[in-house]
């Protein structure tokens, strides 16, 4: 068995696995963005609050307008000379006084509501700006991700071609063993000996085991994780 070619195949496959994982992550990131969704929801909620405040102000203004129309009618009636009865004149004056008091109260409410609305409008403007910034940042991120995806796909294509070349130099039974180990060992079938230990699980090997790895023509499997070990 040519461990050099198998280790090269492992390096290629590990690289391909990493590319597939990153591509999956990039494609998912391009479909959604938590910051944009949060900023958009905040803006919508703030706009609803502002709209309700505007409706409240409109109702107050409408009520003031109606009361002023009624006041003008009562004033006109009082000074028209058409009402002569003292009791009716007194009731009309009381109504005018009441309307003036109501209008004054409503105008105070109008001022308070206008101040409240201005504050809400400022908050909406801030929320809108935050949403626009988040959306703009996401679009930039998507552009960068798209460029990265293109590079990864190009790299993936080159690696697949290289893999085909390496496969031709390995016997079919060795490829079958390699693929079986890959499935059982989370994609990592062959690892190197590093500092007299298995690079995958860290198991320290005895002097005789290290000698077997370096001199034997047979495969040496890590006694702990079962992966094929080779000496660089």
Residue 113 contacts residue 60 (beta carbons within 8 Å): yes
> In this predicted model, what pLDDT tens digit does every residue of 162-188 receive, in sequence order?
999 999 999 999 999 999 999 999 999
**Higher local confidence (pLDDT), 5 or 58:** 58
User: What's the rounded Cα separation, in Å, for the pair 66 and 62?
Assistant: 6
Percentage of the chain exceeding pLDDT 90? 81
**What pLDDT score does 1 carry?**
56
Determine the pLDDT at residue 184. 95
Q: Is pLDDT larger for residue 43 or for residue 78?
A: 43
Please enumerate in sequence order all residues whose Cβ is within 8 A of that of 115, keeping only pairs 6 or more positions apart, or say none.
none
Does pLDDT of 215 surpass 80?
no
Fold of 32-167: Helix Hairpins (1.10.287)
Residue 206: is it exposed, middle or buried by C-beta count within 10 angstroms (0-12/13-18/19+)?
A: exposed
Query: CA nearest 49: which of 108, 119, 131?
Result: 119
At residue 83, the pLDDT reads 84
Give domain limits for the chain: 32-167, 172-230
Q: Say how many CA atoms lie within 13 Å of 199 toward its Cβ.
A: 12
């Amino acid at each position: 068995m040519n461990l050099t070619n198998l280790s090269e195949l492992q390096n290629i496959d590990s690289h391909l696995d990493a590319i597939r994982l990153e591509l999956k992550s990039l494609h998912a990131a391009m479909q959604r963005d938590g910051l944009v969704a949060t900023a958009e929801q905040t803006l919508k909620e703030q706009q609803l609050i502002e709209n309700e405040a505007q409706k409240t102000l409109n109702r107050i203004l409408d009520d003031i307008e109606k009361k002023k129309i009624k006041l003008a009618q009562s004033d006109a009636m009082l000074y028209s000379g058409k009402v002569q009865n003292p009791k009716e004149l007194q009731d009309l004056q009381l109504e005018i006084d009441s309307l003036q008091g109501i209008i004054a109260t409503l105008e105070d409410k109008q001022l308070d509501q206008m101040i409240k609305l201005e504050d809400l409008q400022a908050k909406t403007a801030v929320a809108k700006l935050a949403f626009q910034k988040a959306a703009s940042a996401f679009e930039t991120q998507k552009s960068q991700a798209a460029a990265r995806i293109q590079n990864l796909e190009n790299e993936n294509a080159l690696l697949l071609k290289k893999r085909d070349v390496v496969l031709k130099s390995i016997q079919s039974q060795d490829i079958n063993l390699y693929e079986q180990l890959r499935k059982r060992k989370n994609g990592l079938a062959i690892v190197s000996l590093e500092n007299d230990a298995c690079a995958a699980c860290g198991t320290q090997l005895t002097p005789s085991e290290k000698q077997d790895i370096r001199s034997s023509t047979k495969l040496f499997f890590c006694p702990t994780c079962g992966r094929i070990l080779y000496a660089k």
